[in-house]
């Protein structure tokens, strides 16, 4: 990943966020520990309104509690990294060095990054890709998933001219064709989520539809937001036009997950959680709304075993150091130490994919305590005696 020095502007934003952090966003009920939530979000030359944009994005990400967010138009990488620094469980990926670049935030409690890379980076592809597609390969609770983040060329007259290499619609068609070729040649049979600000609509007639390589191959690709595109303009991602430009497509191995009754793809009307609605959102954050895909963990084949019989605490009683072990297929989010009255004394977060934790309790007085183990969907409590 490319490292960027902290600019003076970024430093000012950082200091302001520390001193002037305010509560802008009303509570949002979105993320769930029982599903995988991925968003695509063009944040319009972030930070659009300086430190305020950092604060707004921090609060929205915290409230949404999604697992993975793919961003477009990140203009100041230092300011974007400050958002991640403000959030305890999120890590940032800012690999792209393109102008108005691509980036990710991911929940490090449930996601392990396996690889990150760009494709089609050489100058022969610049017509198709003013920003190289950014691919993130992740392990989400044991499931391997590829995320392809994109920001296609904007504008045009709505008419596709394949005889003109400078035609905006043709450039988007070339981008779609090349991504289809990459997936077909490298990721066949893999769980792939293709998303981003693709700067065109899904509902154009076939002669002008830049997404034909995907739409004409329904056995391999499915646009999860097609119902949004065909629905009311009030739900579209770019209300200033209005049009629906931000899309999420999946490959065949994820079809059955999206067919689950609990699966959903929706445009998040975040302006509804602000006191001054769209005007406040547009002024301080973006002219695009995020689009979100939610897939139930069970539909992805992720099952959490019962906790009770899967954990060993030894030695117990203990005078100082104790080893906590649990089954490798048990996904623990937190281990909490409680006193006899149930008060939280300390919390431990196991590393991703770890199944042991060595803890020293010598600083605590002798007596009876409790260890609370939190999984994805359930918890259990075990007694701990410190001598």
pLDDT of 37 strictly over 70: yes
Q: Which residue has the tokens 């980036």?
A: 103
pLDDT score for 5: 40
What is the per-residue pLDDT across 321-349, written as a single tens digit (0 to 9) for each?
A: 999 998 766 778 889 999 988 899 999 98
What is the per-residue pLDDT across 53-100, written as a single tens digit (0 to 9) for each?
A: 999 999 999 999 999 999 999 999 999 999 999 998 899 999 876 777
Residues 6+ apart with CB under 8 A from 124: none
Exposed, middle or buried, 121 (CB in 10 Å: 0-12/13-18/19+)?
middle
pLDDT score for 108: 87
pTM given for the model: 0.81
Are both 23-300 and 308-386 of the same fold? no
CATH topology of domain 23-300: Deoxyribonuclease I; Chain A (3.60.10)
Do the Cβ atoms of 103 and 141 come closer than 8 Å?
no
pLDDT band at 304 (very low <50, low <70, confident <90, very high): low
pLDDT of 8 strictly over 60: no
Q: Which residue has the tokens 């979100």?
A: 292
- Whole-angstrom distance, CA of residue 253 vs CA of residue 250: 8
- As a whole number of Å, the CA-based R_g of the chain is 23
Tokens of 207: 């002669």
Span 128-155, average pLDDT: 96
Residues 308-386, CATH architecture: Sandwich (2.60)
> Residue 304 gets which letter from DSSP?
P
Residues 6+ apart with CB under 8 A from 163: none
What is the per-residue pLDDT across 109-132, written as a single tens digit (0 to 9) for each?
A: 889 999 999 999 999 999 999 999
DSSP string spanning 14-60?
Answer: HHHHHHH----PPP-----TTEEEEEEEEEEEESTTTHHHHHHHHHH
Q: Any bridge partners for residue 371, and if so which?
A: 337, 382
Helices (H), the chain: 8-20, 51-64, 77-86, 168-186, 212-215, 226-230, 255-258, 277-284
What is the per-residue pLDDT across 307-320, written as a single tens digit (0 to 9) for each?
A: 655 789 999 999 99
Going from N- to C-terminal start, the domains of the chain cover 23-300, 308-386
């Amino acid at each position: 990943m490319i490292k960027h020095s902290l600019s003076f502007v970024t430093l000012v934003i950082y200091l302001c966020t520390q001193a002037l952090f305010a509560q802008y966003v009303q509570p949002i009920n979105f993320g769930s520990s029982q599903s995988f939530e991925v968003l695509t979000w063009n944040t319009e030359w972030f930070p659009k309104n300086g430190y305020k944009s950092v604060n707004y994005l921090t609060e929205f990400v915290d409230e949404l509690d999604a697992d993975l967010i793919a961003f477009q138009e990140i203009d100041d990488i230092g300011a974007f990294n400050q958002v991640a620094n403000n959030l305890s469980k999120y890590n940032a990926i800012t690999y792209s060095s393109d102008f108005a670049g691509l980036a990710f935030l991911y929940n490090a409690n449930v996601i392990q990054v396996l690889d990150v890379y760009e494709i089609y980076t050489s100058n022969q592809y610049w017509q198709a890709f003013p920003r190289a597609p950014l691919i993130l390969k992740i392990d989400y609770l044991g499931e391997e998933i590829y995320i392809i983040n994109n920001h296609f060329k904007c504008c045009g007259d709505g008419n596709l001219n394949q005889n003109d290499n400078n035609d905006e619609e043709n450039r988007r068609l070339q981008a779609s064709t090349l991504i289809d070729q990459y997936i077909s040649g490298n990721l066949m049979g893999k769980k792939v989520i293709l998303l981003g600000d693709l700067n065109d609509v899904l509902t154009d007639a076939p002669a002008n539809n830049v997404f034909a390589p995907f739409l004409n191959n329904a056995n391999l690709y499915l646009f999860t937001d097609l119902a949004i595109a065909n629905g009311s303009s009030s739900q579209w991602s770019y209300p200033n036009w209005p049009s629906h430009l931000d899309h999420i497509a999946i490959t065949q191995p994820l079809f059955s997950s999206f067919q689950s009754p609990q699966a959903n793809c929706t445009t998040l009307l975040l302006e509804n959680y602000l006191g001054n609605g769209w005007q406040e959102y547009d002024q301080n954050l973006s002219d695009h709304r995020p689009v979100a895909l939610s897939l139930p963990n069970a539909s992805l084949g992720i099952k959490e075993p019962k906790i009770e019989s899967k954990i060993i605490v030894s030695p117990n009683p203990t005078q100082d150091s104790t080893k906590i072990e649990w089954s490798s297929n048990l996904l623990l989010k937190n281990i909490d130490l409680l006193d006899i009255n149930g008060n939280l004394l300390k919390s431990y977060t196991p590393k991703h994919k770890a199944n042991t934790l060595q803890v020293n309790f010598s600083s605590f007085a002798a007596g009876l305590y409790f260890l609370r183990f939190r999984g994805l969907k359930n918890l259990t409590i075990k007694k701990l005696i410190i001598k």
